[in-house]
């Protein structure tokens, strides 16, 4: 099997979902029958939470994957590259995958959320084929 490189990019679908849910939450907070001071606190907490979530989605820890063989995968992180194996508690669907990798030689587990629109379709298809062979 040849190595397959997958570069992860921010997902438009995830960003749109965050925007819609944020606006809905803001609407709910504004219509609450509480004091304006309490509403201001809720709005501040909402913006802080949305900002944190936005940053996590748009700058993930795992920047890319290289599928090496049936058992091993190379994770490209922000500051290093390491070998890992796929954990059994990963979730894979046709539109989204939540992959959990255990670093070889360490006990650290890395989670990688891959939404179909964050990688080219041929790469997502190659990932699904690689996962079926496990």
Residues 23-77: tens digit of each pLDDT: 999 999 999 999 999 999 999 999 999 888 888 777 777 889 998 887 789 999 8
* Number of domains composing the chain: 2
Are 74 and 115 in a shared domain?
Answer: yes
Global pTM?
Answer: 0.76
* pLDDT category of residue 1 using cuts at 50, 70 and 90: low
Are 35 and 68 in a shared domain?
Answer: no
Q: Rounded CA gap, 118 and 106, in Å?
A: 28
Tell me what pLDDT residue 43 has: 93
Comparing C-alpha atoms, which of 109, 113, 99, 127 is closest to residue 10?
A: 113
Beta bridge partners of 98: 91, 113
Tell me what pLDDT residue 33 has: 93
CA–chain centroid gap for 38, Å, is: 32
Residue 115, domain extent: 4-8+61-132
């Amino acid at each position: 099997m040849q190595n397959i490189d997958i570069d992860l990019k921010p997902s438009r679908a995830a960003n749109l979902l965050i925007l819609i849910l944020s606006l809905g939450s803001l609407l709910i907070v504004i219509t609450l029958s509480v004091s304006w001071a309490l509403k201001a606190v809720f709005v501040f907490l909402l913006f802080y939470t949305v900002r944190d979530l936005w940053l996590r989605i748009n700058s993930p820890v795992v920047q890319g994957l290289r599928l090496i063989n049936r058992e091993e995968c190379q994770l490209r992180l922000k500051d290093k590259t390491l070998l890992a194996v796929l954990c059994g508690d990963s979730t894979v669907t046709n539109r989204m995958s939540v992959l959990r990798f255990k670093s070889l030689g360490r006990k650290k587990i890395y989670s990688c959320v891959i939404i179909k629109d964050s990688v080219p379709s041929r790469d997502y298809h190659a990932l699904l084929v690689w996962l079926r062979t496990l």
